Homo-oligomer: A and B are copies of this chain.
């Protein structure tokens, strides 16, 4: 490979036209990068001057700059980020470790992270984890260390199976999404508790005596917090707390819970921990002839786009995933730039109750 490159380099390259053919290579030859030295040779300057032009440094006279720019264009020069990274010890890349990209919330968050990072000149490197164990997270972290990454964002909404919380190597810039590691890392999260509370209060405010709850998987921090806030809100209001039903975020599990709820004659209001399970609940209630919101009111969580088209359109708690992603990037960049202390604490993104047609006063 190097032989192949150096032969044309010394001989043919500086002759502009020939180089052009070599770089474009429609034929499918291995792409061969153009270096500063190539540009310098064509422009008749030193490679340092090319570097100065490339980085917009002052001290290059106009005519020289023009020559260099022309040479860059002609050769199709692009800086080599590996060399830059080596030089600077900085990579302009943020690593994202996550479990399960198939969740609407997670993919939204990742999208926001990527978009926001891009505007700041950072790229995103993604490492998915199939099974969320402490070992796997650490393994991903090691890979991140080997990769060109300046900081890491960890999106793992699930309790780690073999340890209570995520433990990261110290001294690494990191932000954790949706976890309770707030005392050790920067955490960004939706304000789960406030969201759940607003859902419960909405239902109580309509006149329901109490609110049943369908939880997410017990391994999920978010599910836990929503369930807890739901219970607290009921207790605060002095209402009885019905036993929670457990789901796993899937519509299927919501359906199962809904079938049970349909068998509870005094159940008039349900707060479901996410919209997909709410879809299952709606189906079950419909199949069992329990009208929504006539007999039973239902509130979801997430406000996925589809929820406006459920039958009936779902009252739900809106989560601002984009904002979560944005704040992650901001926090991480601040850490990188200030170079320093990992500020710990939790940054809560507020929610908003979206009232549609699945809730009404009890009859």
Chain A positions near chain B (C-beta within 8 angstroms) = 1, 23-31, 33, 78-83, 85-86, 89, 91, 93, 100-102, 104, 107-108, 110-111, 114-115, 118, 123-128, 130, 142-143, 145-148, 169-173, 250-252, 254-255, 276, 279-280, 282-283, 286-287, 305-306, 308-311, 313, 339-342
Decide if B130 touches A143 in the complex (CB within 8 Å). Answer: no
Decide if A107 touches B118 in the complex (CB within 8 Å). Answer: no
Decide if B102 touches A111 in the complex (CB within 8 Å). Answer: yes
Question: CA A30 – CA B81 in complex, angstroms?
Answer: 21
Give, as a whole number of angstroms, the nearest-CB distance from A308 to chain B.
Answer: 7
Question: Which residues of chain B have C-beta atoms less than 8 A from A172's C-beta?
Answer: 31
Q: Which of B86, B145, B309 contacts A279 (CB 8 A)?
A: B309
- Residue on B with the closest CB to A277? B309
Question: Which residues of chain B have C-beta atoms less than 8 A from A107's C-beta?
Answer: 101-102, 107, 110
Question: CA A195 – CA B19 in complex, angstroms?
Answer: 47
SS of A interface (majority): mixed
Which one of A107, A251, A309 has the highest number of Cβ atoms from chain B below 10 Å of its Cβ? A309
Question: CA A128 – CA B110 in complex, angstroms?
Answer: 10
Give, as a whole number of angstroms, the nearest-CB distance from A259 to chain B.
Answer: 12
Question: CA A363 – CA B149 in complex, angstroms?
Answer: 62
A-B contact pairs, 10 of them (CB 8 A): A1-B89, A27-B341, A78-B145, A81-B146, A85-B148, A111-B128, A118-B128, A118-B143, A252-B305, A276-B305
Q: Which of B254, B283, B305 contacts A251 (CB 8 A)?
A: B305
| A251 with B111, Cβ < 8 A, contacts A85-B82, A124-B126, A147-B123 known | no
| A114 with B127, Cβ < 8 A, contacts A145-B78, A171-B31 known | yes
Question: CA A120 – CA B115 in complex, angstroms?
Answer: 26
| A308 with B124, Cβ < 8 A, contacts A101-B107, A111-B101, A172-B31 known | no
